[in-house]
Amino acid sequence: MATKVRKLLAKAQRTSNAEEADAFSRKAAQLMAAHRLDPERIAQHHDDQLDTTEIGLGRGPYVRARLALLTAIATSSGCAVVYRSDTTETIAMVAGYRSDLDVVIAMYTSLHAQAAAQMSQQRSFDAAATRSWRRSFLFGYANQIRSMLEESMNTERQHREVVDNATLVPAIIDRDRRVKQFAESAWGPTRRARQPARPNMLGYFAGQEQAASADLGRHRVAPRGALRAGG
């Protein structure tokens, strides 16, 4: 599954045609949704192990926007996200089934690289204004990716028969419950993070527009103090 998503992302990255990039992007999102709603895969709890992975978010003004992008992707795959910060870096920790984590990592790596390439082209009248626009761009980008993944999930559900949905919904709820219990056991107490500062709306809308054609393409946490929920 992760290999198929990576191939679609690579195709979208290579093309200079916006319509082709959008088609590959949405195909990747549809594949992700189908993977998430595959009844046989959902039922195979014993063959798909629960795990955690860590993703570095760096430091500075773009950390929370990167976290928003990662959270949009991870929650669409039924994964849980928290983060911790120290003096050198912010680390996002993602918990879920290994097959879902592989897809999340592939999609986040590709989408963040694409967003960063677009952000780097923007220059404002001073450094502070440039940072504000780029940060807002990434927030808008993350929000649009979340909407696209939700749309693909809803479309995939509509394509399935009613009898499948009657079986799928309880299975997905049970799978999500297992992830939540595993995350609580791995991380211990968490606390909700403060809301990030309000974005620059021009940059935000530019990020949303860019994401519309985006390429949607094990560590045990030691005991520590409360962590902050991602998003």
Per-residue model confidence (pLDDT) at position 89: 92
pLDDT tens for the chain, residues 1 to 231: 667 777 777 777 777 776 777 777 777 777 777 777 776 666 665 567 899 999 999 998 899 999 999 999 999 888 999 999 888 899 999 999 988 898 899 889 888 888 888 888 777 778 888 888 888 989 999 998 888 888 887 877 777 665 566 667 777 788 889 999 999 999 988 888 777 777 777 777 778 777 776 656 423 333 344 445 554
Per-residue model confidence (pLDDT) at position 215: 54
Domain extents in the chain? 2-229
Q: Whole-angstrom Cα distance, residue 231 to residue 226?
A: 16
Per-residue model confidence (pLDDT) at position 83: 94
* Cα angle value 9/134/142 (rounded, 5°): 45
Per-residue model confidence (pLDDT) at position 223: 37
**Residue 170 CB partners (closer than 8 Å, separation 6+):** none
Burial of 10 (0-12, 13-18, 19+ CB in 10 A): middle
Per-residue model confidence (pLDDT) at position 216: 60
* Cα angle value 166/172/173 (rounded, 5°): 95
Per-residue model confidence (pLDDT) at position 203: 78
3-state secondary structure of 124: coil
